[in-house]
Structure 1
């Protein structure tokens, strides 16, 4: 009993001083992640134009076409070998980070960082319809985990640094530090504790500072033709929100069905990886506008007037191209492709408004921007991140009300159509046959933290009256800045941060069980 009390006291003492250690550790994580992502972005900015030029030359010289496909098949084979050797680099990387934070998955952080860096460059550089943000989040999480292991952090401290690294990765990828923090809180960590907030904020700001020193202060998506939408046109937001919500459902279900299709083919990982590279070659020669994540395509919408027919074709091809690339398991995210598709659908609906419903054309770009946020919310189910991300990426806060309307309507539409959050769906599939499941050390203790939600099974109840899972002990309660040492008659309230000690080998199940108790009924 004395040894158990002593162990609790030691862990609580580390916890009380954790905030100050996290400041230093998070600054270091942010700086390191910022440098990794900057190098990745710089190499990519040189690599992709070379491939675009390669495709252009081949389209004018038929003798080069066989060379194009030989190169792409070879690159697809190399990527397939890397995915086969390190399966954790497959796809976006965000579900993998969520799996690690929920103690369901484990990884070799250096191996994942190395292969994701190289694999992401190959896929993005060749022009596959994938984004750089998912890999950036995963690489950032790897840096956070690597630092925690090199400095011998406790298991719970490692989770903070992984979260801060993920936040820094998104921040450096998009020059959007606040969105990086919110995405980590709302999507990856799903926990608003002060420890997570402090570490994520510091790392995200540091990574953004490093990134801006190389790429400048210009927002990632800077639109010169963006006016505030008058209130008399707000009725248009309802319809575009519904259409974008439906588009988001199509995107989510399409990705999952494409994964099923690849799985049903019963072919090797290498062949699966080669398929999207061959498709990329075909489109690079015939329809190069759809290549890559789509950043330049979004920017071009403010200067180019596409016809409704061309936009419709562009939307369909981009949807199918993204499905083919991501479904194969190629290392790359869906973050930017889903924003691009939202922008294209928004442009399509906006053109209908302008041509047939009398909306002035100066507001056309508003529908592009609003649709991006709505598409993100309907697919990822992270509405606050959606609003902040688009605001930071466009460098404008004049559209918060209209953004909120579209985000709410689009997410409600996808909820009504029973569309689950895409990253959670991908994680569930990953866990079915995962070989790298998390296994805690037998006999070791660890701390988990849970935030109590309003009207949950823990809210307004005394500790002694709660049916706690076996082998767990509430060792501390944080209520704002106040630390409470719990007793049997201590009452728990919504907003409390519970620090719970449990066995490391069962911590993933314990986290899930207590999270259900603490969640709103």
Structure 2
């Protein structure tokens, strides 16, 4: 019998929830200041433009991003190689009992190197580092309070959820992320489930105290009539195919970067840093995490051609930047690519069927918002998280039904095309690199069960 079936006293539940609240609050502190630091640093091209111009400005910008990228890569490789990338696969592996998170080194490296990488302009999301930091805080608390193995696994998931909550100011998405993304590993019980709630609440509250309470991307959503649902389903089909292609490109580029690292360890990060730094001046919409990009193009959408070019450009910069091995996530880059595709889809429809689209109450921005949830679902294979996350980010509650429709078709198309969850593939790749055989779904469940106390 596992802990979920044993009677748990009120005192035990209260103690666990208190620890979860502490973990959530500390995650909110780290995440809140992490975001503030990036928000302050990311404006460095404006400062640089006051002291240089022309090709000198481009060269200086490329050099600065390259230096910051190399610094982040060096810190990560030297002190905590497992801190590279988003950290979500590491957390999932740790919950399943097949990976170990060295929180003492992951926490500072993820914080410092993440600020350097994302603040330099690399196309990386902030949610990966905060999720990994949340899990690291949870492990530190588990050791401090001497929790059991199952409680440690549950608190690890709660800390990761708090990291997502503070990254996007999205507590409900954080709870669903734990349920949907770690469903094979999470030791479910009432106490553990409530612990996730407690950590998400605390993380969001602290983040709001530090950075304010508002949707991350408040956009004019508009409305969508029932007759528009087939159109949103068609958008989901497109995003399903893009999601599969995106995941395969990420995995292929990781292999390319690994080959470069074997021959010349820092050449690939240097090249990517130079390119991104130059684009920061020449084509700023093609780089950075994507938060400001989404806001800019949604307020005044460019032509469909420009949007498609921007989608392709951000697709490749996202894949290239993730492969260099610095801390950083893929949520925000996925959302920005999706917005470009969705807006282009909407603009083309508006040009072709202006009266029909107007009668349905749909605008190009509506397609941009729905596209975010659809592409997220296709890449991560977590459609419920995709819908709720985008709703919390944008406040687009009127588009829930179109989102569900698009996520349904995107998920089906991604599965039928042979797509697999991106984090599952990353975890398997990490285990293979370490000389371990990637576990099957049944193996993961047995690993989690073997770590639970027996009667």
Same fold, TM exceeding 0.5? yes
| Distance in 1 separating the partners of 2:445 and 2:386 | 30
Tell me what 1:238 maps to: 233
> After superposition, where does 1:342-421 map in structure 2 within 5 Å?
342-358=338-354, 359-360=357-358, 363-421=363-421
Tell me what 1:422 maps to: 422
Shift in CA distance, 368/509, structure 1 to aligned 2, threshold 3 Å: closer
SS for the counterpart of 2:398 is coil
Offset of residue 59 of structure 1: 7.1
Between 167-176 and 395-404, report the one with greater CA deviation. Answer: 395-404
The answer as to 2:139 corresponding to 1:145 is: yes
**Are the counterparts in 2 of residues 167 and 204 from structure 1 also a CA contact under 8 Å?**
yes
The answer as to 2:114 corresponding to 1:120 is: yes
| Distance in 2 separating the partners of 1:268 and 1:15 | 57
| Distance in 2 separating the partners of 1:432 and 1:362 | 47
Cα deviation code 1:253-296 (max 9, x no counterpart): 11111112222333344333323211211211311112211111
Tell me what 2:61 maps to: 68
Question: Aligned to 2:171, which of 177, 202, 208?
Answer: 177
> After superposition, where does 1:364-513 map in structure 2 within 5 Å?
364-434=364-434, 510-511=446-447
| Distance in 2 separating the partners of 1:401 and 1:64 | 47
Between 303-312 and 165-174, report the one with greater CA deviation. Answer: 303-312
Offset of residue 75 of structure 1: 2.1
4+ residue runs over 6 A deviation: 13-16, 512-515
Cα deviation code 1:194-249 (max 9, x no counterpart): 233111101101111111123322211111x2211011222211211111111111
**Are the counterparts in 2 of residues 58 and 285 from structure 1 also a CA contact under 8 Å?**
no
Offset of residue 15 of structure 1: 7.8
TM-score (norm 2): 0.90
Offset of residue 189 of structure 1: 5.0
| Distance in 2 separating the partners of 1:123 and 1:169 | 18
Offset of residue 49 of structure 1: 0.8
Shift in CA distance, 401/39, structure 1 to aligned 2, threshold 3 Å: same
Considering fraction of residues, name the structure with more strand: 1
Between 59-68 and 415-424, report the one with greater CA deviation. Answer: 59-68
**Are the counterparts in 1 of residues 28 and 202 from structure 2 also a CA contact under 8 Å?**
yes
Question: Aligned to 1:105, which of 72, 96, 99?
Answer: 99
How many residue pairs were aligned?
440
| Distance in 1 separating the partners of 2:241 and 2:168 | 26
| Distance in 1 separating the partners of 2:98 and 2:290 | 33
**Are the counterparts in 2 of residues 177 and 204 from structure 1 also a CA contact under 8 Å?**
yes
| Distance in 1 separating the partners of 2:51 and 2:183 | 46
Considering fraction of residues, name the structure with more helix: 2
**Are the counterparts in 2 of residues 80 and 271 from structure 1 also a CA contact under 8 Å?**
no
Offset of residue 16 of structure 1: 7.7
Tell me what 1:164 maps to: 158
Highest Rg: 1 or 2? 1
Offset of residue 362 of structure 1: 5.2
In structure 1, the gaps of 5 or more residues are 438-456, 458-506, 516-521
Offset of residue 383 of structure 1: 0.9
**Are the counterparts in 1 of residues 95 and 448 from structure 2 also a CA contact under 8 Å?**
no
Tell me what 1:264 maps to: 259
The answer as to 2:319 corresponding to 1:319 is: no
Between 77-86 and 189-198, report the one with greater CA deviation. Answer: 189-198
Between 311-320 and 208-217, report the one with greater CA deviation. Answer: 208-217
**Are the counterparts in 2 of residues 54 and 68 from structure 1 also a CA contact under 8 Å?**
no
Tell me what 2:201 maps to: 205
TM-score (norm 1): 0.79
